[in-house]
Amino acid sequence: DTGVSQDPRHKITKRGQNVTFRCDPISEHNRLYWYRQTLGQGPEFLTYFQNEAQLEKSRLLSDRFSAERPKGSFSTLEIQRTEQGDSAMYLCASSLVGPRTDTQYFGPGTRLTVL
Amino acid sequence: AQSVTQLDSHVSVSEGTPVLLRCNYSSSYSPSLFWYVQHPNKGLQLLLKYTSAATLVKGINGFEAEFKKSETSFHLTKPSAHMSDAAEYFCVVSDRAGANNLFFGTGTRLTVIP
């Protein structure tokens, strides 16, 4: 399978703990995006990278959230001191930027439950 | 600012009958518009996209959508529903032609009755 992969698929944690999620994009894609989807809502943009540079962050991304893409390949999203309100599906997407190749392809997501 | 409004949170159709999922958009730019489908426990899958070429866009699985600038609409249709079409459908607008960020609607859940 050469699509976007995310790990883990499910994470249950206690309030106050730190969690880290990983996303592996489609190999030739230079852009990588993170979204959050809460129950009954559409995904909301969090941040994106072009290669290893983080170019934009949403106001949803509080200082407890940090994302990295150190070598321009896989990315990690870390949430520190988790809160119950962080419970959501975290989605990763990737795209190849070009004149006709701006489509974002999504991974299966990581479902986070904060107890 | 970019946003989409999906006019129905839930649509129910009988198998073999037409499907219509409605979407209106708001965009400060010439928008790129998309429809994505989300099956339970599966990732979002692109159905089709509009990027200022033909206003009638054909997608996968027999779906199509028509971009109507005068009505700021991008409704999704299919002539004949199949049981496997039951899923959540999202209308999406991008903030720039390069689709840097996607703005999703709240989704329409399609139920197909046998």
Structure-token pair, residue B111: 């139920």
Percentage with pLDDT > 70 across chain B: 95
pLDDT at B51: 79
For residue A37, the cross-strand partners are A89
**Which residues, in sequence order, are CB contacts of B105 under 8 Å at separation 6+?**
A42, B4, B5, B6, B23, B90, B91, B92
CB atoms within 10 A of CB B63: 20
pLDDT at A101: 58
**Residue A99 pLDDT class (50, 70, 90 cuts):** low
Q: In which band, very low, low, confident or very high, does the pLDDT at B14 lie, cut at 50, 70 and 90?
A: very high
Q: Is A107 on the interface with B (CB under 8 A)?
A: yes
Q: Cα(A4)–Cα(A1) distance, rounded to whole angstroms?
A: 9
Burial class (CB in 10 A: 0-12, 13-18, 19+), B52: exposed
Q: Which residues of A touch B92 (CB under 8 A)?
A: 42
Chain A nearest-CA distance from B111, in A, is 16
What is the Cβ-side half-sphere exposure of residue B81, based on CA atoms within 13 angstroms? 21
Taking only the tens place, the pLDDT of each residue in A19-35 is 999 999 999 899 999 99
The pLDDT mean for chain A works out to: 91
Within 8 A of B45 by CB-CB distance, chain A residues are 106
3-state secondary structure (DSSP) of residue A11: strand
Interface check A41 vs B, CB under 8 A:
yes
B108 to chain A, closest Cα gap in Å? 10
Q: How many pairs of residues across A and B have Cβ atoms under 8 Å apart?
A: 57
Is B101 in Cβ contact with A48 (below 8 Å)?
yes
Q: Which position has the higher pLDDT, A67 or A28?
A: A67
pLDDT tens, residue by residue, B70-112? 999 999 999 999 999 999 999 999 876 554 678 899 999 999 9
Could you check whether the bond before residue B114 is cis, i.e. omega within 30 degrees of 0?
A: no
Q: Go through B67-106 and write b for each residue having 16 or more CB atoms within 10 A of its CB, e for each that does not.
A: beeeeebbbbebeebeeebbbbbbbbbbbeeebbbbbbbe
